[in-house]
Amino acid sequence: MGLITQTAKEYYTVANNFTGDGSNKNFTVTFDPLPAVENDFIVYQAGNEIDDDQYTYVANTGVITFTTAPANGTAIQVKLKNIKHGSYRYIALNDIVNNFMVSYVGDGKIIDNARKLDVLFHTKRAIQEFSYDVSRVEKIQEIEVGASLTIPMPQDYVNYTQLAWIDGDGLERVIYPSKITSRPSQAILQDDTAEYLYDNDETLLTATSLTTERFKNVPTTELNDDYFYSDNDRNAMLGEGKRFGIDPETTQINGVFIVDEANGQFGFSSNLAGKVITLKYVSDGLGTDNEMQIHKLAEEAIYKYIAHAVLSAKANIPEYIVNRFRRERRAAMRNAKLRLSNLKLKELTQVMRGKSKQIKH
């Protein structure tokens, strides 16, 4: 049986279509994956959207039950709100676990027995490691920077890959991390003699960070003139290394950002207030159920990863068996990286045409 269960029309329109017969109240959607809640889709009858109090939905079966059977010949359409194509290139978490149990575990196989729960744990760990190192699917958030000059880290954030502000043409102007200041995670409140102050329960009292407030209130032009490009203080110049070469961080006007790891925020220089920012970041692939999947070009690599992890954790497994699967895991992960590097000869040639090296073609 083929893996594609939707028709071409259902896939490209992201909708399931039915026809009422006057008696049937139940209709089963075939989306993959099935919508989790009623709010994930819209139901139309004869082209008109209907209220969700006119039907119920069961998520694990995909069955929509109308309170009143649609009239004979009535066109019914169930359309997803969030359109997402390209899911065929991924294999889901449950399929990975089931395929592994069938292929690697059992009598006469390399792993005589293994609990499904253990395989599930190692599969999730594999998805995490692949998200960091192999597949590296970037997520992109678009946020406007407010007066506070901060934005929160995304809910599933692990590490950033790039921050940029968007100009009037929709082009990205890359912002670089700053080394000239920081965002203290705790500013200690002190008295006139610089002694620490404490609350009634003897915990430290804290205040607003002066470092953050002062940097936030400094005009970027002043930073450029007095700190970045100043020629007045040659000793400071030598300290910054500017006599022998410029620092890319301080010789640009796009602005800078600061990572506040303790508070889960990004801080920005004052010239970025009101700017639209794109934040590109890497997740661990485990944020939601729909994210727990792996690219099919790396499917073999994840099976090798799980097999090595399971065998390494079992007692009385010969070391040569563990080493064999360690080598196979490394080789499979290397192949997956090459497959997912997505190098295209024509695109590479086009880029190199703009370089000084002559490309013969």
**What tokens were used for 340?**
């997912």
Mean pLDDT by 10 residues, the chain (361 residues): 75 88 93 84 93 91 94 93 82 91 91 92 92 84 92 92 92 87 84 89 86 74 48 45 58 82 88 93 84 89 95 91 94 92 82 65 52
The answer to whether 306 and 119 are in contact (CB under 8 A) is yes
What phi and psi, each to the nearest 5 degrees, are found at residue 279? -110, 115
For residue 243, the enclosing domain spans 138-282
Q: According to the model, what pLDDT value does residue 117 have?
A: 94
Whether residue 240 is found in the same domain as residue 147: yes
Same domain, residue pair 226 and 322: no
**How far apart, in whole angstroms, are the C-alpha atoms of residue 288 and residue 156?**
9
Bridge partners of 316? none
Classify residue 290 by burial, with Cβ atoms within 10 Å: 0-12, 13-18, 19+: middle
CB neighbours of 202 closer than 8 A, spacing ≥ 6?
Answer: none
DSSP state of 164: E
Please state the domain count of the chain: 3
DSSP-assigned states of every residue in 121-155: HHHHHHHHHHHHHTS-PEEEEEEE--TT-EEEPPT
| One domain for residues 181 and 151 | yes
Q: Are 143 and 277 within one domain?
A: yes
For residue 198, give Cα distances in angstroms to 137, 143, 194, 210, 345: 46, 38, 13, 19, 65
Shortest CA distance to 205 belongs to which of 232, 187, 183, 222?
A: 187
Give the model's pLDDT for residue 151. Answer: 93
The pLDDT value recorded for residue 63 is 95
Q: Are residues 181 and 252 in the same domain?
A: yes
- pLDDT value at position 343? 80
User: For residue 101, what pLDDT is reported?
Assistant: 94
Same domain for 144 and 131: no
| Residue among 24, 23, 19 nearest 78 (CA) | 19
User: What pTM was computed for the model?
Assistant: 0.72
Asked if residue 259 and residue 322 are part of one domain, the reply reads no
pLDDT of residue 84: 76
Q: Which of 282, 299, 331 is the last residue of a domain?
A: 282
277: nearest Cα among 256, 299, 291, 249: 256
Residues 202 and 270 in one domain: yes
- 352 lies in some domain: no
Same-domain pairing of 20 and 65? yes
Give dist(CA 167, CA 224) in Å, integer: 20
Q: What's the CA gap between 292 and 102, in Å, rounded?
A: 20
Same domain, 37 and 62: yes
**Interatomic CA distance for residues 279 and 84, integer angstroms:** 21
Measured distance CA(299)–CA(130) in Å, rounded: 11
User: Quick check: 150 and 265 in contact, CB under 8 A?
Assistant: yes
Distances (CA, A) of 277 to 30, 79, 137, 262, 296: 38, 31, 19, 21, 32
- Quick one: 103 and 121 in the same domain? yes
The distance from CA 9 to its chain's CA centroid, rounded to whole angstroms, is 29
Amino acid letter for position 328 = E
